[in-house]
Amino acid sequence: MLVGKESFCDFRTIQEAINLLEQSPSNEMETLTILSGTYEEEVRIYRSNLHIIGIGQVEIRMGRYARERDEAGEEIGTFATPTLFLGGSHLILENLNISNTAGQGEHIGQAVAVYAHCDQTVFRNCTFKGCQDTLFTGPLPPAPKERLQFGGIPLKEHHAHYGQLYQHCYIEGTIDFIFGGATAYFEDCEIRSLRHHKNHTSYVTAASTPQGQTYGYVFDHCYLTAEPEITPVFLGRPWREYAKTVFVDCKMGGHIDPRGWDNWGNIANEKTVCYQEYGGSDEIASLRQQRVPWADCFEARAEEWSKEQVFKGVTFWKSKEK
């Protein structure tokens, strides 16, 4: 199935193609190819067993934001804003650029580019652009902290696990721009911090790892970069108290705050989170003197952080690039 602006394409919009695909059983893998171009649309995908491949420069973009008002005059909230929503499992996405173009500011709030409520999913050579809350890796926590319900896009399926692999991807944002409860493995990715509009403190991650889940966020051989003249950035803070985030053999720019991690204003979180870094002996020796005492730094890479171990029992992460 082919999406594009040319006369020989099956569909001109991505959502039209998805709507047709979701009318048939999703027992076997289907492939959707998207020709180069900019697609101004919100894409909602509930289907499982789907391979989406972008050819050339494919950008999917919209600009919805949390403080946007609905027909009743109420703010739509964070989880109604994604440009791309994924709700199934056994998904592969390659060579896609997904953007939330809302920007940032007090009148904007959060604006999600990708809402990945999915399991056994591979993102390869993809770009995620936004500001606050760029990439949400489901599931949602059991309940929100400041409102009665999360709202947003209806969830038709809940998975027993949420395993996601991000390979050779570029992810940018300001505050908490990678957040959620998934077991998400980032391999050879560039993680770029943008300057906050008021130059406030920023955070790369805000994990909400469920209690008892073995793995949260794993960054393996990633590159942490930033815009010039940015206020120091923290590696992470816990959206929920059992947050787990580890950086393994990653390269970090000078924008990273020497303390590394923030407790989100709650000292009790320091006893429940799991924040770790692995790297060369000289680098780690220096970090130990600067990092907060409730996070760990290790000189040797542990085998427990390999993809084989993190995704033990499943094989989706072995999918080959086409």
DSSP-derived secondary structure letter, 261: B
Calculate the dihedral angle through the C-alpha atoms of 200, 204, 206, 209, rounding to the nearest 10 degrees.
-170
Q: Quick one: tokens of 104?
A: 């940032």
The runs of H, that is alpha helices, within the chain are 14-21, 281-290, 307-310
234: CB partners within 8 A, 6+ apart:
201, 202, 203, 204, 256, 257, 259, 260, 261, 262
Q: State the CB neighbour count (10 A cutoff) for residue 15.
A: 16
Of 119, 133, 176, 262, the active-site residue reads 176
Q: What is the 3-state secondary structure (H, E, C) of 62-81?
A: ECCCCCCECCCCCECCHHHC
Q: Quick one: tokens of 217?
A: 């966020």
Does residue 176 carry a catalytic annotation? yes
Can you tell me which residue has the tokens 């760990």? 296
Q: Quick one: tokens of 162?
A: 């949420």
CA atoms within 13 A on the CB side of 182: 29
Q: Quick one: tokens of 254?
A: 């000078």
Residues with active-site annotation = 176
